[in-house]
Structure 1
């Protein structure tokens, strides 16, 4: 018999708890703003200050990559409904991340028994408008029952 699907509120509460346990996510001010099975929205609440930029004044690729990686993992993890890690991902930087904040939206595209393939769009928010600045795709893998250290 299949496990009951958690409510939207239960998914979001679980995701926020998981995010709160990640020191790096806390450092960057990451916040889950939406989460359901296989779909996530993750935002940086920190403004895009000089500390998060590269030498040309754009959001650093590592910041965009962090958002994509974490969003992909949340999308895959909620779709698989088991503990997961990122097995691989790639990112295409489309335009400079310029604006006040960043937001990533990811979804599971294909879900198997032990992995999910997910896609993610990362946007820069400026003056209330969203500009697509990166696309990512990743494979999210279920952790074995007893993860090796």
Structure 2
């Protein structure tokens, strides 16, 4: 089965992901990229993207990366560090597996704000993904 097509079907089955307008840009063993076109509904009172939206992208990207190795998976835990306000046209989350065993994977993720093809790092995250 095509891993990217399968991953997109999983993402489409998540009502919250549909609500936010998230897309799975790429998925290969051990790596995932999610994209989100920034809309007004994603912003907080200072006009940059709400931290909860950035955190959502990290959580989902981490789990897609881990799940690409483990199969059906969920997030056991993750942490996030915000590095700057998320301002731009879209957000890009790039996650990869750092280490994996039979039941869990440790993954990391970088989230970028993209404007006019320039990427600026807005957050970094690390998490543990476990088989469902």
Distance in 2 (CA, whole Å) between partners of 1:113 and 1:33 is 26
2:64 alignment partner, one of 63, 68, 74:
74
Q: How many residues align?
A: 132
CA deviations over 1:98-137 (Å, ceiling 9, x no partner):
0011010000000011100000000001122110000000
Larger Rg: 1
Q: Which protein is richer in strand relative to its size?
A: 2
1:62 matched to 2:30: no
Structure 1 unmatched runs, 5+: 1-5, 144-149
With CA pairs under 8 Å and 6+ residues apart, which has the higher RCO, 1 or 2?
Answer: 2
Distance in 1 (CA, whole Å) between partners of 2:32 and 2:108 is 11
Structure 2 unmatched runs, 5+: none
Q: Partner of 1:14 in structure 2?
A: 6
The RMSD of aligned alpha carbons is 0.9
Return the TM-score normalized by structure 1: 0.86
Return the TM-score normalized by structure 2: 0.97
